[in-house]
Amino acid sequence: MLYFEIINLYRQRALYMQNIACYLLVLIIFPMLLPVEDLILLPKLASPIVWFITSIIFIFNINNFFSAAQKSFLSHYILASQSLYRLIIHKIISQWLFCALPLLLCLPLLIPLYNITFEHVIVLILVLAMATIIFSIIDCLMAIIFLHITTNNMLAIFIVFPFYLPIIIFGVGVHNYVDLVSANTFMLNAILFIQLPFCVLFGKIILKSQYNLKNIHNI
Amino acid sequence: MSKRRFYFITKYFAIPYFFILLQKIIPWLLAIFWLLFISGCIDGFFFAPIDYQQADAVKIMYIHVPAAIISLFSYLVLFVHSCIYIIWRIKLALLIAYNSAILGFVFTALTLITGSLWGKPMWGTWWIWDPRLTAEFILLCIYGGYIMLYNLNNISAREGAQYLAIIGFVNIPIIHYSVYWWQSLHQQPTLFKFSQPSITLNMLMPLLFMLLAFIFLYLSLLALRLRNNILQDYSEHNWLYKNLHLNQ
């Protein structure tokens, strides 16, 4: 099942390549926009910029969770009485692999571009890895809510971004190895471990209900 | 037996019965609101003592605290009616949830604006990403998202909006306990705590008056909005004209 999900996303790889291109462009162009006397601020700005772009990319990624081709696949899946829990977990894993992992792998670029230490990058990768899983979970739940709605991205930003805010606030607070055992990281862990079962349970209920609505009202 | 047990629910949610109830209670709600509001304003703004540190700025409390409590209370109403709609598919619950969200949005915005006005002289800043303030801002966004989603005029979007309201309920305990859980610039609760209120009686009385006034304001606005919605949606129905003592 996970294999098919990955194959499916691989077919839409252009969308994810676009994300990576946008991410790299912002990372590369931003230092050029700063005046020379402010370049000393770059190491401090690196982390907030990365968090900001990552969250924006994840918000715009919501529409890719259940694309048009996958919606028909979904009805086959429900009719075959397959486990919806498994479907949701596989969606989260595959989306994370395609959307978050490439962004994390690009992070070492920050060392020459933003003049930050290797330690800082490692910490950033670890915290972002955790946070992007939480973003994927939130995205999955919201994608299920938007299943039969042709949303515009403005609405998605308005609805999803508030749920991202606490994660961004906790995440930006982690700067070094010492911070990795601080309250911020524990809060991120707690959110992740509470959210995952909740999302899977609740996601299944909403998915079933949205599917039934589609059949009743022929949306 | 089970039908009898839930009879009051079906009666409460029957729109003709509810419309008659609204017609009867709206004047009373408005009268009680004005009575409480005028006495609260007179007591709070003219007779209540000023704070030794905050001076006259403390008077913003008589608007800010009730608005903040109502912003949470309206979310509770939204949450309960969203659950009722999801479980029993009662249309009136959907109407109550939507109107409660609109009022909640207004009261949350009022809370943030008055809080900002209070924050400038006390903390030296209009806004800070403090846990309490951030959580309240998230509440505003959830209300906004709910309203936008509901207004897409698609049955699936309305259903989604109810689920969003249920998911967003997780924010309510966070708002209340944020001042205990994190280092916050915002002060800890004065009224809603297990020990005695940490405020002098001279200030507590007008605050309670204003709180009750805001509760009645919320209820009367909700009732007025619901009555208007019912008048719009059921303008073709005979029972409506009969209750308005008009001929169709």
Closest residue in A to B87 (Cα–Cα) = A209
- B160-209, pLDDT tens digit by residue? 899 999 999 988 988 888 888 777 778 777 776 666 667 778 888 899 99
Q: Is B80 on the interface with A (CB under 8 A)?
A: no
Residue B247 vs residues A145, B21, B229, B241: alpha-carbon distances, Å: 44, 21, 20, 6
CB within 8 Å: B148 and A213: no
Of the pLDDT bands very low, low, confident and very high (cuts 50, 70, 90), residue A129 is very high
- A148-162, pLDDT tens digit by residue? 776 666 777 788 888
Residue B248: pLDDT over 50: no
CB within 8 Å: B159 and A163: no
Smallest CA-to-CA distance from B177 within B128, B122, B127, B135 is with B135
For residue B129, give the DSSP letter. -
Residue A155 vs residues A27, A61, B143: alpha-carbon distances, Å: 26, 13, 12
Closest residue in A to B167 (Cα–Cα) = A202
**What is the three-class DSSP state of B154?**
coil
CB within 8 Å: A149 and B134: no
- Which residues from chain B sit within 8 angstroms of residue A169, using beta carbons? 129, 134
Closest residue in B to A144 (Cα–Cα) = B160
Nearest to B149 among A141, A148, A159 (CB): A159
Q: Which residues pair with B51 in a beta bridge?
A: B55
Angstrom distance (rounded) from CA A146 to CA A143? 5
Nearest to B155 among A155, A166, A213 (CB): A213
**In A, residues 176-215, which contact B (CB 8 Å cutoff)?**
202, 206, 209-210, 213-214
Nearest to B159 among A155, A159, A210 (CB): A210
Sign of the torsion angle spanned by Cα atoms A89, A95, A97, A100: negative
- B105-161, pLDDT tens digit by residue? 999 999 999 999 998 888 888 988 888 898 999 999 999 999 999 998 778 888 889
Question: Which ipTM score applies to this complex?
Answer: 0.78
Smallest CA-to-CA distance from A144 within A74, A194, A93, A193 is with A74
Q: Which residue has the higher pLDDT, B27 or A176?
A: B27
CB within 8 Å: A148 and B142: no
Neighbours of B51 (CB within 10 A): 15
Q: Is B52 on the interface with A (CB under 8 A)?
A: no
Q: Is B88 on the interface with A (CB under 8 A)?
A: no
- Which residues from chain A sit within 8 angstroms of residue B177, using beta carbons? none
In the prediction, which pLDDT does A70 show?
Answer: 61
Residue A211: pLDDT over 60: yes
- A88-127, pLDDT tens digit by residue? 898 899 889 999 999 999 988 888 888 888 888 998 999 9
Q: What is the rounded average pLDDT of the residues B213-234?
A: 93
Structure tokens given for A119:
């330690």
Angstrom distance (rounded) from CA B75 to CA B97? 9
- Which residues from chain A sit within 8 angstroms of residue B167, using beta carbons? 141, 202
B78: Cβ contacts below 8 Å, ≥ 6 apart:
B97, B100, B101, B104, B146, B165
CA distance B53 to chain A (A): 31
CB within 8 Å: A165 and B134: yes
Note whether B158 and A164 are within 8 A (CB): no
- Which residues from chain B sit within 8 angstroms of residue A213, using beta carbons? 155-156, 159
